[in-house]
């Protein structure tokens, strides 16, 4: 599908089939992540790919009991690496750019998953210390993204109008 179709089709999916995501599809998603833009091209983030059932179940608990995290066959955990960005950009790199790098990469993962026919959801409600411990992250977890074959077909939620969102300065 083309880019705009992918963007239009991407919605949050919180119910997944048991079907596995083939490794080659996970690798294509990760390649999109690798190609995502980042401040100074530093890629000041890391991604943990979780497929082990027991760890996915523990991640679901760390996400305050959001069971769909364990239901998805693949969970990507994105962590910012503030010190990597900070070496180049100082405090602004530590506080902002590393988080932006990780979140842009996570958004690319969601778009790539959608383009391949998978569903995903952005999970931001979690215990950062517990998620960090579970995946042995070197950085600060900022997003948990479960990915799998959708078991639901949710409608796109109401969005703000262009007039509410955009201000043209001409």
Question: H or E segment at 143?
Answer: strand 140-148
In this predicted structure, what is the pLDDT of residue 105?
A: 98
Residue 3 banded pLDDT, cuts 50, 70, 90: very high
Q: In this structure, are strands 74-80 and 119-120 parallel, antiparallel, or unpaired? A: unpaired
CA dihedral 127, 133, 138, 142 (to 10 degrees): -20
Domains of the chain: 3-165 (3.40.109.10)
54-73 pLDDT tens trace = 999 999 999 999 999 999 99
148 backbone dihedrals φ, ψ, rounded to 5°: -175, 180
Give the C-alpha separation, 1 to 17, whole Å: 22
Evaluate if residue 1 carries a pLDDT over 80.
no
In this predicted structure, what is the pLDDT of residue 76?
A: 98
In this predicted structure, what is the pLDDT of residue 65?
A: 98
pLDDT over 70 for what percent of the chain?
100
86-98 pLDDT tens trace = 999 999 999 999 9
Evaluate if residue 23 carries a pLDDT over 90.
yes
Tokens of 86: 């900070």
In this predicted structure, what is the pLDDT of residue 145?
A: 98
pTM above 0.85, yes or no: yes
């Amino acid at each position: 599908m083309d880019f705009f179709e992918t963007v239009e089709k991407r919605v949050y999916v919180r119910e997944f089939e048991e079907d596995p995501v083939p490794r080659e599809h996970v690798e294509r998603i990760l390649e999109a992540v690798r190609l995502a833009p980042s401040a100074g091209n530093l890629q000041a983030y890391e991604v943990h790919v979780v497929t082990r059932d027991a760890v996915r179940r523990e991640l679901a608990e760390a996400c305050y009991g959001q069971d769909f995290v364990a239901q998805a066959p693949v969970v990507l955990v994105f962590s910012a690496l503030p010190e990597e960005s900070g070496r180049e950009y100082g405090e602004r790199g530590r506080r902002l750019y590393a988080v932006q790098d990780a979140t842009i990469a996570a958004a690319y993962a969601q778009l790539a998953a959608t383009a391949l026919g998978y569903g995903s959801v952005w999970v931001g409600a979690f215990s950062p210390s517990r998620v960090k411990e579970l995946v042995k992250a070197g950085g600060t977890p900022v997003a948990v993204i479960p990915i799998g074959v959708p078991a639901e077909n949710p409608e796109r939620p109401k969005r703000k109008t262009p007039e509410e969102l955009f201000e043209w300065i001409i």
